[in-house]
Amino acid sequence: MTKFFILLSAFGISVSLWSEKLEAASVDKSVIRVNTTMQSYNLIQPWEKGASSTRIGLGAVLPGGKVLVTAQMVTDATYIELEKPDTAAKTTAQVITVDYEANLALLKPINDNDFLSDRLPFELDTNLSPKDKVEAWQFEASGTPVTTQITVSKAEVRQSFIDTARFLQIQANGPVQYRSGSFTLPIAKNNKLAGLLISYSSKDQISNILPASIIEHFLKDTADGKYTGFPNLGIMYSQTLDEQFRNYLKLDQENGGVFVSKVIEGASAAAASIKSGDVILSINGKGIDSRGNYNDPVWGKLSFSHLVRGKAFTGDSMKIKILREGQKKEIDLELIRRPAEDYLIDPYMFDRGPKFSIIGGLVFQELSVPFLKLFGNDWQSRAPIKMLMAHASPEMYEKKGRRKLVILTRTIPTPVTLGYERLSTLIVTKINSVPINDIQDVDKAASMPANGQHRIEFDSYPKLIFLDAVLAAQVNAALEQRIGITKRLK
Amino acid sequence: MKSSIFSFIITILAWDLAAAEDKNEKENTNQTNNSSRYEAVVRIENSSLNPDYRSPWNTGRDSGGNGTGWLVGENKFLTNAHVVSNSRIIYIKKVGDAKPYRAKIVHIAHDCDLAMLELEDPSAFEGVPPFDIGKLPQLDTTVKVIGYPIGGERISITSGVVSRIDFLSYSHTSVDLHLTIQIDAAINPGNSGGPVIQNGKVVGVAFQGYSGNIAQNTGYMIPTPVIRRFLKDVEDDNYDHYVDLSMSDFPLINPAQRKALGLANDGIGIMVAAAEEDGSAGGILKTGDVLLAIDGRPVKSNGLINYEGEDVNMNEIVERKFAGDVIKLKIWRQNKSIDTKVTLKRFLPYLIAAKKYDEKPRYIMFSGLVFQPLDRNLMAAHVMKNLQVRYHFDSYVSADIYKDRPEVIVLTSILPDSINSYFSNFKHSIVDEVNGVKVKTLKDVHNALAKDKDDYIIISLLGNGRPIVIQRAKVEAAQKRIQEKYNVIKDHYLGD
């Protein structure tokens, strides 16, 4: 309840701005075209960017001269334009806040602060429920508004943009014709913003909608100017449907419960000393069934992760009832968030160049999921097994003090790397006797050659190689001429 | 490259059917009496029983094929191991004699793809002179291949030149490398095991090749050093296998690498990347050592030595030795030359990646869960994508897994029953512990499951915090039910 009031006060100014107009949102006045040019870094040649591409979508105008779009719309954006559909007036915009996990971003004109003053900002409607009729709002190329009615069917907690981040999504049925430039569509209910349409299957005529409740959470978080992000519990769990298993755990028939199979270091559950082997019975009094769902008053059965991610904020405390060794226990858990960049292997990497450092032609990088994905759609079977193991069980390396996993991604043939040309995708353990725990260590170690040689150690074949330090410095200087930079440490 | 050779061998074993189809296609009008020369070259017909790793309690699948063999001594026939693998019944057929003669395996060496057979009744070959074994043939000299390849029933002779002498993988196990000679004579399915002749002497045994859509005119034969070694090894009536240094090496091409290791820029020496602790060189060679000479022969920086006038892989020295033999190594460590000796032995963990034959699959079926030790045959039979399984298979030697778990036990399949109805997610997991006992062998699983003191059987799996839990009281009835339902004749086989 308290959070609700905080929301109102944080929005106080914007709400009053809006209320002066006393006019409801409309397609032509509340939806704006967003044209982005995006260019991602080349992970194989991390010193350069790939080809640029453009994406056209629709944003929802919000109070305070801001525009809401999906994060997908602005990944690796180099140039963002807002365009009024009626007048085709344009201005350049920037990202104020982006959350790739929640798949939301907030934009604002760079210079022209009044650009949106003739628009009607949306109000949020977070009270969607099944069978609601909602509208997808878009434009013809000419700027003529088009609204399509679809019907809300159900809600589900599922992945939106980042593989590992699951959020509440609403499904709606009905045909939606995509008009030109409709990457993301605002969804309106009674002229209020009910969500953003993030994907549509023309075969099944099903729209997936990121609901206003998640948008509201995102906006609340941005209100103080410091964005924290959605909290994570940091556990892996399994269901407790098996009666033998339930008997063994001494779980009675009334309680459902999920079995904690792994606790991820650095997140909320670990901080509250929840252990692998515990059974989570309820969160804040809401019982969790043996499949891992709680009973939502509006949507029925929903994954309990929504109680954490969708409904709570970092810093909130939660009452978690667990069963540990047959004994019920109540745990007060303070929600924290382990930031994505804290993980041994970055789960995603946008808007920044990959960190790397070159020594004489050997290219060192920190392992990331985007790098693993270079091995193709079936990267989970094609990427080097050791790296996949590190991805599945980062604690093996984290225990040893590794912050990141530095790998030799490839070898540029140079006079220094003679005989090493085929070395690639090797996990680096030491350089010049310095243990390598992140890319900064590589840079540090690169300045400490012994007897005129760099000594580089790997955890697998060929284990040990040497480079001529003087020659390597010359090659680095030459590479700098050719490719611009030889390292990016931040 | 390996897969193409593999496919070739597949054709060898399956050629009977194909042969039957085109039997009438060609007519040989050029029948001569020369065939008596080829009396020592025989057709070998093998009926095999291939084990079923997916239902290991079954006897297996009947199959068969044929190859070639040749007389190497009195009632001693030499052929490829792959011609007579997983054998149930073997018949030998002689040129100009329709009668099949029953034969049996005396020695089979899968690691070098050779086998020795003998006839139950040798009288049919009385007076047939065995072949003499010749030397390593020179490049660009002519050889003849004799055998019973696909394309007809009768003996076939092709000829070609020696194209290349190299150290290559033998696809029969796929993990063993030996000296190999490439020839451009046509070698086809059915030629396997047959003699390659030069000046009336056997200079090789035809054994593998590429299928025509990979490379043309590329056949391989096992050269005489390998044949001689096999014959010498079995002199004591027992095959003792090849021995190995069990180390990996890295070429010393880079000048800085040479300088850092304190070596002159003379092209001599190869770096030791790693030596397997339980292998011959374990505890003697270390990462960063440089191998300068092996048995007095300087090792070049690409790993070759000069032997009988040819540049050959340095392992050729080890290849000709036997278990217990000692070789001398000159190594360079911390700017000092050290002379040391290595007693050669086998290194068994590498066999996890070898294709295996003549072995009955071992397993335990408990409450519908099938447990089997991980090896290449198991990987080939089950499509296992589980990361832990792939990691353990891939890194069994390199990550020293074999020390911790001599056998990696995998839950390979589940025979559905009410006792295991929620277990399907656990398929293809590796067993870590059973009731708190760490599993190191299949026997450990058997012993731990047999203990009858706890109410629950807890099977914990690698990489999964959720264990399998089975109520002991339900097991007996379930076991009986499942064995009946799925026709599991015996619920375990742990080996002899």
Quick: pLDDT tens for A107-152.
999 999 899 999 999 999 999 999 999 999 998 888 889 999 999 9
The C-alpha atoms of residue A82 and residue A59 are separated, in whole angstroms, by 9
Q: Does B439 map to a domain? A: yes
The C-alpha atoms of residue A462 and residue B261 are separated, in whole angstroms, by 15
Q: Does B348 map to a domain? A: no
The C-alpha atoms of residue B45 and residue B62 are separated, in whole angstroms, by 14
The residue among B301, B334, B466 with the most chain A CBs within 10 A of its CB, best to mutate, is B466
Q: Does B241 map to a domain? A: no
Residues B434 and B335 in one domain: no
Residues B278 and B131 in one domain: no
Interchain CB distance below 8 Å, B390 and A385: yes
* Partner residue opposite B465 with nearest CB, options A262, A388, A461: A262
The C-alpha atoms of residue A194 and residue A30 are separated, in whole angstroms, by 13
Residues B309 and B396 in one domain: no
Q: Which of residues 415-444 of A touch B (CB under 8 A)?
A: 416-420
Residues B84 and B43 in one domain: yes
Which residues of chain A does B384 touch, with a Cβ-Cβ cutoff of 8 Å?
none
Assess contact for B140 and B161: CB atoms under 8 A: yes
Looking at residue B331, its amino acid is I
Residues B275 and B212 in one domain: no
Q: How far is B416 from chain A (nearest CA, A)?
A: 14
Quick: pLDDT tens for B390-443.
999 999 999 999 999 999 999 999 999 999 999 999 999 999 999 999 999 999
Which residues of chain B does A381 touch, with a Cβ-Cβ cutoff of 8 Å?
385, 390
CA atoms within 13 A on the CB side of B423: 29
Interchain CB distance below 8 Å, A419 and B251: yes
Q: Does B110 map to a domain? A: yes
| Residue after which a domain boundary falls, among B236, B268, B292 | B236
**Reported confidence tier of residue A16, pLDDT bands at 50, 70, 90:** very low
Interchain CB distance below 8 Å, A385 and B391: yes
Residues B125 and B73 in one domain: yes
Quick: pLDDT tens for B349-374.
999 999 999 999 999 999 999 999 99
The C-alpha atoms of residue B131 and residue A285 are separated, in whole angstroms, by 88
The C-alpha atoms of residue B96 and residue B43 are separated, in whole angstroms, by 11
If one counts the domains in chain B, the total is 3
Dihedral, CA atoms, A273, A279, A283, A288, nearest 10 degrees? 160
Where residue B447 sits, what CATH number does that domain have? 3.20.190.20
Q: Which of residues 49-68 of B touch A (CB under 8 A)?
A: none
Residues B123 and B85 in one domain: yes
Residue B54 CB: number of other CB atoms within 10 A?
14
| Residue after which a domain boundary falls, among B236, B256, B286 | B236
Residues B129 and B67 in one domain: yes
Quick: pLDDT tens for A397-419.
999 999 999 999 999 999 999 99
Q: Which residue has the higher pLDDT, B380 or A181?
A: B380
Average per-residue pLDDT in chain A? Answer: 91
Residues B34 and B154 in one domain: yes
CA atoms within 13 A on the CB side of B176: 27
Q: Which residue has the higher pLDDT, B309 or A114?
A: A114
Angle, helices A212-222 vs A2-10, to 10°: value is 70
| Reduced DSSP (H G I as helix, E B as strand, rest coil) percent helix, strand, coil of chain A, to 5 | 20, 35, 40
pTM score, whole prediction: 0.90
What chain A holds in terms of domains, given with CATH numbers, is: 1-226 (2.40.10.120), 235-334 (2.30.42.10), 341-488 (3.20.190.20)
**Is B265 part of the contact surface with chain A (CB cutoff 8 Å)?**
no
The C-alpha atoms of residue A134 and residue B169 are separated, in whole angstroms, by 66
Assess contact for B243 and B280: CB atoms under 8 A: yes
| Residue after which a domain boundary falls, among B236, B259, B291 | B236
Reported in sequence order, the residue ranges of A43-89 that DSSP labels E, i.e. its strands, are 53-62, 66-69, 77-83
What ipTM, to 2 d.p.? 0.89
**Reported confidence tier of residue A189, pLDDT bands at 50, 70, 90:** very high
Residues B123 and B172 in one domain: yes
Residues B295 and B385 in one domain: no
What average pLDDT does range A340-357 have in this prediction? Answer: 92
Q: Does B353 map to a domain? A: no
Could you list the residue range(s) of the whole structural domain that residue B430 is in? Answer: 362-493
H runs (alpha helix) in A345-468? 369-372, 379-382, 385-392, 395-398, 439-446
Quick: pLDDT tens for B183-225.
999 888 999 999 999 999 999 999 998 877 778 888 999 999 9
Interchain CB distance below 8 Å, A241 and B422: yes
Where residue B326 sits, what CATH number does that domain have? 2.30.42.10
Where residue B116 sits, what CATH number does that domain have? 2.40.10.120
Main-chain phi, psi angles of A83, to 5 degrees? -135, 130
Tell me which DSSP letter residue A368 carries: B
The residue among A237, A242, A456 with the most chain B CBs within 10 A of its CB, best to mutate, is A242
Q: Does B351 map to a domain? A: no
**Reported confidence tier of residue B18, pLDDT bands at 50, 70, 90:** very low
Residues B72 and B182 in one domain: yes
Main-chain phi, psi angles of A87, to 5 degrees? -100, -10
Residue in B with minimal Cα distance to A415: B254
Q: Which of residues 227-266 of A touch B (CB under 8 A)?
A: 236, 238, 241-242, 244-245, 247-248, 259-262
* Partner residue opposite A465 with nearest CB, options B257, B390, B422: B257
Task: Please list, in sequence order, all residues whose beta carbon lies within 8 angstroms of the beta carbon of residue A108, skipping any fewer than 6 positions away.
Answer: A65, A66, A67, A93, A94, A96
Tell the residue number behind the tokens 């040391």, with chain if given.
B340
